[in-house]
Structure 1
Amino acid sequence: MAKPDNTVDESELETRRHKAQRARNIAIAIALAAFVIILYVATWAKLGANVLVRPL
């Protein structure tokens, strides 16, 4: 049975799926890194520069 012309072969579908998954992974990594940086900056802003000056 012949394949219709408008279908895409499985290897191309796999390639598209892999690219989409990689793009999602990169977006999640960037969002996570931004969240960590925001928490770091917020912590320093809340505690202030005198956090390191404390009695021993």
Structure 2
Amino acid sequence: MAIKVEHELHERRRGRNLGVALILTALIAIVFGLTVVKVLQLDDIRQFESFDHVANPYADQEEGGTE
């Protein structure tokens, strides 16, 4: 049975990896939170479609319009 001794380099790497993981998790949480807030502020779902930078004829039609 081999005895595994962890080098101090592994401890430093583990600390750095944990720090990077926390930063990435925080960034993902911020982007997700901003997205949720932006979507919840919309009055009508058609407003969400109009945020694209592509012409969308369905977003320009009024309710009850013909296709």
> TM-score band (shorter)?
0.5 to 0.7
Question: Residues 1-56 of structure 1 correspond to what in structure 2 (within 5 A)?
Answer: 12-48=7-43, 49-51=45-47, 52=49, 54-55=59-60
Over aligned residues, Cα RMSD in angstroms?
2.0
Post-superposition CA distance 1:31-55 (Å, at most 9, x none) = 1101000000111111232313742
**Runs of 4+ with deviation above 3 angstroms:** none
2:35 alignment partner AA: Y
Tell me, what secondary structure is at the counterpart of 2:60? coil
Q: Percent identity?
A: 20
Of structures 1 and 2, the one with the larger relative CO (CA 8 A, separation 6+) is 2
- TM value normalised by structure 1: 0.66
Unaligned runs of 5+ in 2: 1-5, 50-57, 62-67
Unaligned runs of 5+ in 1: 1-10
Aligned partners of 1:15 and 1:54: how far apart in 2? 55
- TM value normalised by structure 2: 0.57
